[in-house]
A = this chain, B = another copy of it.
C-alpha cells in the first residue's frame, strides 16, 4: 500500500524535468524560470489543483507556486531560479472541492434544478475554508457561507468568493510526487561564454601575458583559459613534436605536472610567481576577462606527491610506480593517480585543496583535463563540495569519449562540456548532433561548449579547407551554441599544418614548445571574431541553447538554423555554406510558425556580418554564399515597421 492514508485520491506523476528518476539535478542559470510539468490525476469527476513546491538549500522552508492545467491531466507551473546554488522541488496536488461544487452549481442553475441542499453543501465548504483563513478573509468567507445557507444560490458564482476560497484549499489528503528533485543554479557565464585558450609561455612570463590581454579582449572573449601553469617534470620529458627524448632546452608539456619546484599549487618559475598570477587575474578582470585554469589531475614522476604520498599511485610488482599507458603505447612522463587507493579519502581531500587554493587566487572557472579517466564518484563529490563553498565556480569537462560517459559527467555536476562539434562537419552530422543536444532531455543538464580546434585537435576540415574553413567553423561554433572557444592564436591565424598526414596533431605543436606568433598577419580572423562575438553579446537569442531550430535549404552544402529567446523578441537566422570551395545558392524554407512569423508580412533579414539588409517574406527566401568572403549570414529578423496598411486611410 502506497500510503497509510487511503483518502489521498490525487496522484502526481510524470514530473518534468527530471534526470534519471531524480538521481541528478537539472541545471539553470540565475534569472531563469524553471518550468515544471506534471500529471495531476484523480478518480472520478472532481476538479484538482496543484502547485510546485520548492526551496533553496539549505533552507528547509518550502515555497509554493500554483500550477495551471494544459490539457489531458497535465499541469504546468514554474518558479524563479533567483539564487545561486541548489534548489529542491516537487509537486503536489489536491481535490479542488469548492471549484468542483461551483462548476456543478453552474450546471444545476442553468438547468433550473432545485439547489437547496447544494447551497448547504457549498456553505459547508466555504465555512471549512473560513476555518483555514485569517482575519478579514475568514470573516468574509463566513458571511458568504451565511448567504448560501440562507438560500442565495447565486453566491456560488461570485468570482470574489472563488478567489478567496482558492487561497485556503483543503490539502489534508493532498497527493505528492514520490520523489524530490534537484536544480542547480549557476551564474550566467555557465550558459553563455566565449573562451580563448592560449599557452602563457608563448608570451613569455605571466607578467608578459598581461600585454596580450587587450588583444584577447578586443576579439570579445570573456574567458581566458590557460593550460597548466605549474612546474614541469623532467623525467621522461617529451621533446618537440612529442619526441620521447627531450633536448636540454626543451620546455616539456605543461600537462606533465610537478617537479622539485612544486606541484599543482605552484607556478612554473619560468612563468613567474603566484603573485604574478594574482596580478594577471586582476588585470584580466579589468578587461572583463576571467582566467580559467586547467585541472589536470596527474603527475610527472618528479611531482612532490610521488615522494610524499606514494600510496596515491599504483605500484607494480617490481616496486616501480605504474605510469600511464594505452598498450602498447607508454606515457612514462605521466603517473596517473590511483583512485582505488585505500587512502582515497586523503587523495580526494588533497585534490579539493588544489581547487580551493586557486579559488583563493580568484579563479572561478576550471577546465578539467580528461575527467573521464578519473572516478565518477570523485567528481560528483568534488563539484558538490566546491559549489557548496562557492556556487559561482564552474567546471568544463574536457571528455571526448563515448557519448554516454560525456553525458554522465554532465549529470555528475560539470557545468559545461566539450562536444563532438570538433568533428561534425556535414549538414546531416551537425543537424543530427545538435538536435540530440538541444531537443532531448540532454538540454536539462548538458551544456555544450564548442571548440573548432584545441591544442590536441587540428581537425582534417581545418587542415584541408584553408581560411574559409576557419571562418565557417568559427561562425558555426559561435552561433550553434552559446558557449564556444578557440585555441589561439593558432585559430585566428588559420594555422592548418598537421604533424603528418592522418594526424590531428599540430606540426611543431605548442604543447611541446613555445611559439612566437605574428598576430598582425593580413589573414588573421581577429576582426571577424570580434564581430561575431559582438553579435553574440548583442543578441540574447545567441545566449541560450534551447531554441535552436533547423530549417530546410534544399542544398546539402548549406545549413540553416534559427535561435530565438523565449518571448521571440530576438530572432537570429544563420545560413552557412559548409562548402569551403564553391559559392552556393538556393532557397531556405523557414519554419515560420517556430519563429512566430506570419507569411503575409515581409520582414527585414539584416545580416549582422555583412550589414546587408534583405527583404524576406514567407518561408522561401534566396541566399548566395561565397566561401572566403561571405561564408554565412547571421541575420537578425527586424520587423518591417510600416506599410500603407498601417495607416487609417487604408481601412
B328 pairs with A378, CB closer than 8 A: no
25 A-B residue pairs with CB within 8 Å: A1-B377, A6-B339, A6-B344, A6-B348, A6-B377, A7-B340, A7-B341, A9-B340, A9-B375, A21-B21, A39-B404, A41-B402, A43-B339, A43-B376, A44-B372, A44-B373, A73-B405, A105-B327, A108-B328, A110-B328, A113-B327, A113-B328, A117-B316, A124-B317, A173-B340
Cβ of A527 within 8 Å of any chain B Cβ, yes or no, is: no
Given the known inter-chain contacts A316-B117, A328-B107, please indicate yes or no for A402 contacting B44, CB distance below 8 A. Answer: no
Given A339-B7, A402-B73, A121 contacting B317 (CB threshold 8 A)? yes
Chain A interface category by residue count:
35 or more
Instruction: Give the residue name and chain of the B residue nearest to A101 (CB).
Output: B327
Most chain B CB atoms below 10 A, which of A9, A116, A380:
A9
A62 contacts partner chain B, Cβ-Cβ < 8 Å: no
A300-327 interface code vs B (CB 8 A; 1 in, 0 out): 0000000000000000111010000011
Task: Say yes or no: A13-B113 contact (C-beta < 8 A), given A340-B173, A381-B1, A402-B72.
Answer: no
Return the chain B residue nearest A405 by Cβ. B41
Extra 11 A-B pairs, beta carbons < 8 Å, given A1-B381, A43-B373, A73-B405: A1-B384, A2-B377, A6-B377, A9-B377, A41-B408, A43-B374, A72-B404, A107-B328, A108-B327, A120-B317, A121-B316
Number of copies: 2
A642 at the interface (CB under 8 A from B): no
Q: How far is the CB of A605 from chain B (nearest CB, A)?
A: 37
A326 and B110 contact, CB distance less than 8 A: no
Q: Among A6, A372, A373, A375, which residue has the most Cβ atoms of chain B within 10 A?
A: A6
Decide if B43 touches A372 in the complex (CB within 8 Å): yes
Whether A117 touches B375, Cβ cut-off 8 Å, given contacts A405-B73, A408-B13, is no
Given the complex, which residues of B lie within 8 Å of A105, measured CB to CB?
327
Distance in angstroms between the alpha carbons of A23 and B12 in the assembled complex: 12
A318 adjacent to B45 (CB under 8 Å): no
Residues of chain B contacted by A178 (CB below 8 angstroms): 23
Contact A74 B404 (CB under 8 A): yes
4 nearest CB pairs, A to B: A21-B21, A111-B328, A120-B317, A6-B344
**CB-CB < 8 A to A121: which residues of B?**
316-317
Does A3 touch B at the CB level, under 8 Å?
yes
Within 8 A of B (CB), among A111-139: 111, 113, 116-117, 120-121, 124
Q: How far is the CA of A45 from the CA of B326 in the complex (A)?
A: 8
Question: Across the interface, which residues of B come within 8 angstroms of A384, CB to CB?
Answer: 1
Query: A22 at the A/B interface (Cβ < 8 Å)?
Result: yes
Interface residue? A243 (CB, 8 A): no
Interface residue? A8 (CB, 8 A): yes
Residues in B neighbouring A317, C-beta threshold 8 A: 117, 120-121, 124
Q: A288 on the interface (CB 8 Å rule)?
A: no
Partner of A376, one of B14, B41, B341, B403: B41
A437 smallest CB distance to B (angstroms): 16
A11 within 8 A of B: yes
The smallest C-beta distance from A339 to any residue of chain B, in angstroms, reads: 7
- Asked whether A150 is an interface residue with its Cβ less than 8 Å from the other chain, the reply is no
